[in-house]
Each structure stands twice: as C-alpha cells, then as structure tokens.
Amino acid sequence: MPRARRIRAKLRWSNLYTFSCFHPTVVDSEGGHPLQGPGFSRVVYCNQPLVHRRKPLKYASNYISTTKYNAITFVPKAIFEQFRRVANLYFLLAAILSLTPIAPFSAVSMITPLAFVVGLSMAKEALEDSRRFIQDMEVNSRKVSTHKGNGEFGPRQWQKLCVGDVVKVEKDQFFPADLLLLSSSYEDGICYVETMNLDGETNLKVKRSLEVTLPLEDDEAFKDFTGTIRCEDPNPSLYTFVGNFEYDRQIYVLDPSQVLLRDSKLRNTAYVYGAVIFTGHDSKVMQNATKSPSKRSRIEKKMDYIIYILFTLLILISLISSIGFAVNTKFGMPNWWYLQPHNTSNLYDPSKPVLSGFSHLVTALILYGYLIPISLYVSIEVVKVLQAMFINQDIQMYDEETGKTAQARTSNLNEELGQVDTILSDKTGTLTCNQMDFLKCSIAGISYGVRASEVEIAAAKLMEMDLSGQKMEIPNSDLGFWGENRNDITVSEIVLESGGDPKIEKIHKSPIKGFSFEDNRLMDGNWSKESDPDVILLFFRILAVCHTAIPELNEESGIFNYEVESPDEGAFLVAAREFGFEFCRRTQSSVVVRERNPYGQPIEREFKVLNLLEFNSKRKRMSVIVQDVDGQILLLCKGADSIILDRLSKNGREYELDTVRHLNEYGDAGLRTLMLAYKKLEESEYYTWNCEFVKAKTTMGPEREELLERVADLMEKDLILVGATAVEDKLQKGVPQCIDKLAQAGLKIWVLTGDKMETAINIGFSCSLLRQGMKQILITSANADAEKTMKENILMQITDASQMIKLEKDPHAAFALIIDGKTLTYALEDDLKLQFLGLAVDCASVICCRVSPKQKALVTRLVKEGTGKTTLAIGDGANDVGMIQEADIGVGISGVEGMQAVMASDFSIAQFRFLEQLLVVHGHWCYKRIAQMICYFFYKNIAFGLTLFYFEAFAGFSGQAVYDDWFMLLFNVILTSLPVISLGVFEQDVSSEVCLQFPALYQQGPRNLFFDWYRICGWMMNGLYSSLLIFFLNIGIFYDQAFRAEGQTSDMAAVGATMFTCIIWTVNCQIVMTMSHFTWIQHLFVWGSICTWYVFLFFYSLSSPIISGDAYHILTEVLAPAPIYWIVTLLITAVCNLPYFAFLSYQRSVNPLDDHIIQEIKHFKKDVEDQHMWTRESSKARQKTMIGFTARVEDKIRLLKGKLQKKYSSLVVQTIS
C-alpha cells in the first residue's frame, strides 16, 4: 500500500493552543498514574485483538442494541406488559373459569376476545420496536478502515470491532468506539473533534496524541506496532479519563485529550489512527444510555384504579347474588316442586347451600363481566392509532425544507401530550441552528448597524398596536397633547427610541450567511470618511486576526470558507471579509489578511503570530500577540464586557460610557455581545513576558494551568477599548414564538445543555428564556478539596437563593436558575436534590449547562418524580437519548446529526416550533377525547351491566339474564362501539386556530379537569341513575300492564328487548350531548347505531326459532305493533338524559369553562362582528408568565413607554412655556 502523505506538512497547529494542547514529552517520573484497586482493571493490548477474544480479557463486543425486546424476551416481556393492565388480568381469570361447567358462556366466547386484544397490542409493540432494531442494524453495519495485519488496512463493520484493534478514521466520519488517538494527518498529531452527539456542543475540540506515537504516520508503520493500555473501567463520565500507555518499555500518562469518544465526529482533519479501548455498551456514550422504558399515560394508570373500583363492585354484587342464591337454595327450593329438588345436582342441592353459593359466585363473576368491558382497550387502541394518523398527516407540522412530517412513533401516549407541565429541552440542534449573524457594532463610541433584531421589531409592532388601541396614562394628560398626537407615533419612532436611526439610508442586498449588517457608513470603504478611521481600521483587523480559524478556498465561488471552533468566530470573519478585510491564509507562524483599500487594489498584509491565548469558559476572553509588517507588536483581545472593562487602562477608557450604553441596548435587543481592545507592546516588554510565559508553559504538574493564567493576566491588562460587536444567534425558525406560546399555555421550560455556561446564557437570551432585568441565580461549586465542604457551600447558595425569592416584593420580578454540571453532580444527591428542585420550581426558567447525558436523564427523573407532574424531553442527538427515554414523553428532532434521538423517542418532529402544534392543539384534543371517551365507556357499561344484576335479584338470584345472548354480545362490539370511537377521533371543543389563539385552554389537561375523580364519579353516578330508571320503569310499566291489543301482558323476551332498546337510545343520545363538534361521520355512527339495532332485531327475529329462540318474530309481531313500546322508549330516553342536560345548562350559564365561552362567541359570530372583544378575550386567555417573547417584549415596552413619556412630557413643558 502506498505511503499516506500528510496534509499541510510541517505545520504544528498545536502552537496555536496555549492551554488545551500541551503535553510533556518526557515520561512521568513516578511511572504514570497509580492504577490499583477496583475501577482500574482494564488492560488493552494494542494491535493484538485476538488476545481479547478469550477470558479474562474478553470484553463486550461493539454490537449495540437500543431495542426494548429481543427474540428471546419479546413474548414474556410483551405478555407481562399486557397483563399489567388490571382488566386483562380479570379477563384472563374469566377465560380460565369459562373452561369449567359452571360458566354461563362458552370458553371460545371468552378466550377469543382476550387473545385478539392481547395479540393486537403485542403486534403493535413489535412493530414499534422493529423500527429501533432497523436503526441499530444501520449503525452496527457501518464500515471503518481496520488494521488487518502486515501494515494493511481494510473495511470492517462496526459490530465486528474488538478491543485492541487499530482503526483509521477519515474526515467527517464518526468514531466507531472509544479510541486512543495515536497520530493524525497533522505533523504534531492534533485533530479536531465535534462532540455534538455527546454534549450538544458544536465548538470543535482539539485532541492531541502523545509525542511518542507521532512516528506512526502511515499504514505501514503499524506492521509491528504493539503497546499496552492500563486504564479505568467503563464508566459514564465524558470529561474524565485515567490511564497509562506502556510503549517501548516506557510508561506515559493518558488523559481525556488523547481519547476519541464513540459517536463524536472527526472534523478539519484528513484522518487519524486510533486504538480501540472501549467497545459497544462499554463505551462512554452507551454508558450514558438508559434502557428503553415501558411508558404508560397517567390516564391509563388512573384507569386501573377505576377498574379496581368496578372490580370491587363486581365482587360485591356477585357476593350478594351468590348469598341470595344460597339462601333461596336452602330455604326456597324445597318448596319449589317444579324444580324437582330431590333430583338435582350438587350445584342446586338444598342440603349443600354453601357449595351452591360458591358455584354461583363464579357464574356471577363471569355474568356481570360487562361492568369491566374488554372492548374498552380495543376501542382505545383503535382511537389512538387513528389519532396518531392525524398527527402524522398534519400539514401544519410538515417541514418543507427537509420534507419530513411529524411522526407518532408510539400511540400509547397521545393523551399525555395534553397534560405536560415541564419541558426539558436540549439546546444545540433543538433550539438553535448554530448560525450567528453579525448585526450591529460599536466603534469609537458610535453605534453602527440599522437593521433591527427580532426582539426590536416585535416590540415596535406591539407598541404601535398598544398606542393605537388605548391611551397611555401620562401626567398632565388633560392638556390633550398626547391625545392629539399619539396616533402619529410610528414603528420608526419606536425603533428610534430603541437606538436605531431612521435617517440613515438602508442598503438592501441578497442575504449573506453570517452577515445581516446594514449601514452604508461602513460598507464599500465608506468607513475611511468617518471621524475615527484609524480606530475603525484597528477594529476590522482585530476581527480578521484574533481567532483560531483555518481558511479553505471554495474553488467554485472563489470565496473562503472558514473552519472555526465556534459560530461567533465564523460570523466575525465573514463580517471582516464584507468590510474589506479578508482572512485568506494561515501559516505556521502568521496570518495573512487581504485588505481592500478604498482607493486602490487589495493588499495582502501579513501578521506574525507570536502567541495565542485561546478562549475558555473560565477566562471569557481570547488574545493574540502579533507583529505587523512595520515591526510593531500588538496584543489584540476580544472577550466578555465584564472581563475587558476590568482590564482597561486609564487612557483606554475614552469610549467606555458610549460603548457600555450601546452594549445595554444590544442586550435589550437580544443580541450576543463582545468587547474588542488592544495594546501596543515594546519589544523588551514582550520578550521579558514571553520568557515567563514559556517557563509556565513547559511546567509539568497540576500548577501549570494556574501559572499560565497568572502570566496571561500580566499581559492582558492596561488595554485600550476599540469597540464592541453584536451578533444575533440564529435560532431555529419559530423557536421564540413557540416558546412564547408554550409559556402562555402555562408550561415550564428547562434547558439542559452540554455547552459552557456563557453560551447557554446567550441562547437563553436569544430564545427569551432570559431577558435583561431578570435576576440570575448562578449555583457554582467552590474549589474545595473536601466533598462535605463543597456540598455545604452549594446548600448555602440554594438556601440563600430560595430566601431571596420569598422576600421579593416586585410583582414583575423574575428569577432564572443557572447551574453547571459539576455542581449538579452534588445537587442531585439524595440530601440536596429536594432543596434544589424546590428552588428550580420557584424560578421562571432553569438552565443546566455542562451536563452529561446521564445528568440530563437524572434531572429529568428528579423533575418527574419530585413534582409528580408530566414531563416532556426534546432533543436531537445521541446525548439526548437518556432524558428522552426517562421523561414521560420523549420527542426527537429529526435533524441532520443522525437519528438516535428519533429512534428513542415517542414522537418525532422536524423542528422545535412544531412542538406548539403538537402540544397546544393535538395534545389538548387527544387528552379531552380520551378522557371523555373513557368516562362515557364506563357510564354506558354501568348503565347496561347493573340492569343484569337488578333482574337477577328480581328473578330470585337464579342467574337468568334478561337479555338474549346475541344482544349482550353485540352491545359493545357493534351497537355502541362506533359512536364512542368517533368521539375519541373527531371530537373538537374548539378549532386548531382557536387553540393557538387561546393557549390557556391547554391548562385543562395539566389540571386534569376532564378525568378527575369528581368527573369520573359523576359519570358513574349517571350510569347508576340510568340503570335504575331503565330497569324499574320498564318493570313497573310492564309488570301487570296489558301489552297487546288482545290484553296479554309482556313476557321476559319482550321486556328484555324493550329494556335493551331503551339502553341503546339512552347511551347514544347521551354521547350526542357530550360532543361539541359534529361531522357527517358522527351523525352516521350515532344514528346509524340506533338504526342498526332495529335492522338487526328485524332480521334476527325472522331467523329460525333454533337461532332466535324467544325472540322469534318479536319485532314485527310483538314490539312494533305495541304503542307502549315506542312511548316507553321515548319516555325513558328523555328521563335518563334529563339530569345531564340540566347539568350542562347550569354549567354553561353559571360556571362556564373557557371552551364554553369560546363556543358561544363563535356560535353567535362575535369574533367577526366584534373584533375588539375577540382580541381582548384572546389576550386574556394566556397564563401569566415571566419568560417568552411576549414577556420580553412587554418588558421592552415598559422601558420604551418610560422614554416616550419623558420625551412628550418635555415637549408639553416646552409648548406651555
């Protein structure tokens, strides 16, 4: 095989990195880490995979599985899942008892429905789990180049990798396992890694191999390579690694910077070589995964308790029936000569009443089984599948860019969508699309950029609507000045108060990715005509030089693309290019900028890079020391305003006040800001400092980082302020509006991200979870050696914060809790987690940053179990799988970074904004449909089932059913099934548009208004009332009343058929009053079910007496000719439904629900005739919230109103004077 050539030969990119990329070249004097005791038993023989195929070194294979079942466990686990349902347990018992001679029904009639229901549910589970299996196979079948021996590499499936294998991973490929980095295509063995799938960060991480393995630069070099890794055992910690590398009879210390984790991606590097350390479920990403849980909705769990109640009622009436039968057998049967008591079986032996009673108990348990309807579960499954179809086909959740629709991957949790209390969201790829746009800047105390941000535009529009719709309460308003002129206030005037300048001519051109700046004062070289062109020139050069990017020329467009560590850096470089300062080349020790001179040809200017102090979350700044062509040494610095301001010299604060004012305005507009500064250095000053810097850089031991920080601080002071930048973080389309609508619906939103704290806070501002004026509570861990001391410090911070919230008196005050992953580790322990949760619940928004996938799942569990309310987790990457599976509902974003989150989710959507439609519309509908459907189902079965008990008691507890067997069989299957299914599928209290206009309607779900015990008991009492009326009115009327014209009274068949007719009419008219929305389908199903009863009875009664029995010709000859049959049907139907009708009338008149008011408005078309009233009502229909776009805009409006009040007050004074 030809020798692989390194790209960019002789370039040591590690020189760019001061803090993250230094490793001593000498061996640790103590022989590496002392790896002894439990937790450090892993031994890996590199390039010797055969050793790891036998014990004791046989480790887990690289095959992964995320399915809930496998071929062996499917049947037992799936059956267990089905019989977790209490009703199924009862029907299993009934099916077993049906095999005995005392059963009132045949065994086939009991076993067949049970087998059908359980089999259907198991088939659905198998289908859903097969999708996960297919995704697993796609991952396991990926190929990677693996060393096969003799220096030859060839493709091998991921699932066949073994510990110790040497693999070659190429650019933009995922790492197949956890690897030790041996060498890369760069000279000094560094590589760039994107860990978005692990921690959500898109900033590239720099990894570097040990110096000793750098000679392993091509395939042939591995022909005789061997080495031994001794390290920690598999664990879920993504940010730590302890191990030693034994090579060439020396021991070298390993740390996380040499480890490449599975599911992270190689970027900006042609290839790397690595040795496999952890495979499959031993890898850190899989250690963070959790088992696929079995999820059940709260309604389904509560339904079990209803089944318990009905089962208790079933046992109670069965006991009453059996006791009554035993008493009659002992005392009555000897006198009933026609039953031949002297010639009977043991079941009817007067001398053995206890045995007779026990046998009748079994009969009664099966006979009254209609109280616990097995068809309920079938109906619910059908309804949920149809609901899922509507979710999948909703055009409002179709993403045109990707062509993807929403997918209900499981239909078990549809109604749970309507009861969500807390949303736990990932950040990267879920809320953001990781694109920054350069929007504004402040240079030399002057603000540039006339395009308004999204927050400014929204505030201006709402402010204008507010001013046009109502008067402001202003002192001296009786003068009439405001009243005469308030309609002249426009959006442009409001934007002017926000810092914009409507007099500046705006330029309109095609959008450039990363650059939305508009201001002709700086474009096309016009900056040279400004009052401080030298400062502006320096500002542009800082943008073009102070970074760690790598340029790549796009040969088709002729424009440079930049491989950057963060989106901010990319936006700065694009802005510099558009301003005429294009970064075009980086060498080992310099950067080259092509400067477009306003008066001549472009000039390539080279800056020699002397040192680079890169950005990290602790420093919050980045500096580069360069020497220009004139020999002048400059320190160029960019960083957070709080850091830069403290480091300015006395002479460097000329523009401080104006710049800080601009920064506050940019922050109010929702923009991310950085300050830019510089410092001129004398050669002697620089070289003195550099000696100290080199000394600190080459120091070994734990004090190295502290020394570097100290030396860097010596240089990064006495700076001169140049200006500030403001970039707009491009959230995914519609994210702020979606968060705003969800907040108005009363939902709490937490953000769990692996990003650093600053990034997470900036995103919080961008999506309006945070805003200016919101009080931030930062919980951090002190650098204490003792764990007890650290936990005490964290507890004190939590306690102080909770006390501060309780003492707050400002009604507009809002608090945001921000906590990092290290602190969260302690906060989630048993003795702190309840206090932490209590504080978090009291805050308007919660942001957890630097959290691992495992911590995401633990936080989700804490919220779910600690609050006892429904949680929803949403994410798009493999790092979100844990929390998606842990939450009550998991939603996956079908983004560009694989489908792991989607495969683990219960629902998938293409973008975060579709969550609004999924929850506020479909969630509300599904919850109300399922709740009403179940309540109605129990109502109709109680109304029907108890009539069987009443008649049996009336007939001396004989076990005789008043209804024909076919009537009972068809009651749930045909005659009442379709109307209840139409209720569960098509019912709409309000339309989807109204759901979004009145988001507070959603709170009916979390408050459980339609499935609380008050409503459940109400429906049960309604069923009891109907059953009593239907039975006793029929018996009272027909007992001794002439039924036919000839004067004959009715027999049991006529009474039973009439009673059954009353039940069919009553329960179907009841469902009509329950429905709010009718289509032709509902009318067809409801009235068609009633007609079906008569059609069935007609043909059934015409059949042979062998089939129809006592019902022979019962409709045509007995019931239809009798007027009393029709009168009784109408009378009982009206009387049974009268209480519910009265209740509805009272509720709508005296104590209406929100949807009742909206229905009335829509019915009388007030939304069209009185738009002002409709707008007023819709503005009321939202939960009071401290987060979201509206809350932020209202805060902005309060600020603008104050400015305008002052402005017009001063004008009034001038007018009077």
Which residues touch 1178 (CB under 8 Å, ≥6 apart)?
997, 998
d(CA 468, CA 491) in angstroms, rounded, equals 11
| Dihedral of alpha carbons 511, 515, 518, 524, sign | negative
Q: Are 250 and 149 in contact (CB under 8 A)?
A: no
721 phi/psi in degrees, rounded to 5: -70, 135
Distance CA 881, CA 874 (A): 9
DSSP single-letter state for residue 410? -
Which tokens hold the place of 344? 């009977």
Q: Residues near 249 by Cβ (< 8 Å), separated by ≥ 6?
A: none
Angle between helices 1052-1074 and 1080-1102 (to 10 degrees): 170
> Strands across the sheet with 775-779, in order?
407-408, 907-909, 889-893, 870-875, 420-425, 748-752, 845-849, 815-820, 775-779
Residue 1093 sits at φ, ψ, to 5 deg, of -60, -45
Q: Is the dihedral of CA 351, 354, 360, 364 positive or negative?
A: positive
The answer to whether 539 touches 445, Cβ cutoff 8 Å, is no
Give start and end residues of each alpha helix (H) in 150-260. Answer: 196-199
Q: Are 999 and 744 in contact (CB under 8 A)?
A: yes
Q: The tokens of 833 are what?
A: 């987690």
First-to-last C-alpha distance (Å) of the chain: 94
Give the Cα-Cα-Cα angle 1190, 1194, 1195 (nearest 5 degrees): 120
The Cβ of residue 688 has, within 10 Å, a number of other Cβ atoms equal to 12
1118 DSSP assignment: I
Catalytic residue among 129, 218, 263, 426: 426
136 a catalytic residue: no
259 in Cβ contact with 278 (< 8 Å):
no
Spatial distance between the Cα atoms of 947 and 961, rounded to a whole number of angstroms: 9
Residue located via tokens 């499936």: 157
Residues 700 and 690 sit within 8 Å (Cβ to Cβ):
no
Question: Of 1019, 1009, 1025, 994, which Cα lies nearest the Cα of 1151?
Answer: 1009
The strands making up 190-194's β-sheet, listed across from edge to edge, are 205-208, 190-194, 265-267
Distances (CA, A) of 867 to 710, 837, 860, 1176: 45, 8, 11, 34
Phi and psi at residue 809, to the nearest 5°: -110, -15
Q: Give the HSE-up count for residue 998: Cα atoms under 13 Å, Cβ half-sphere.
A: 26
Helix (H, G, I), strand (E, B) or coil at 245: strand
User: Which residues are designated catalytic?
Assistant: 426
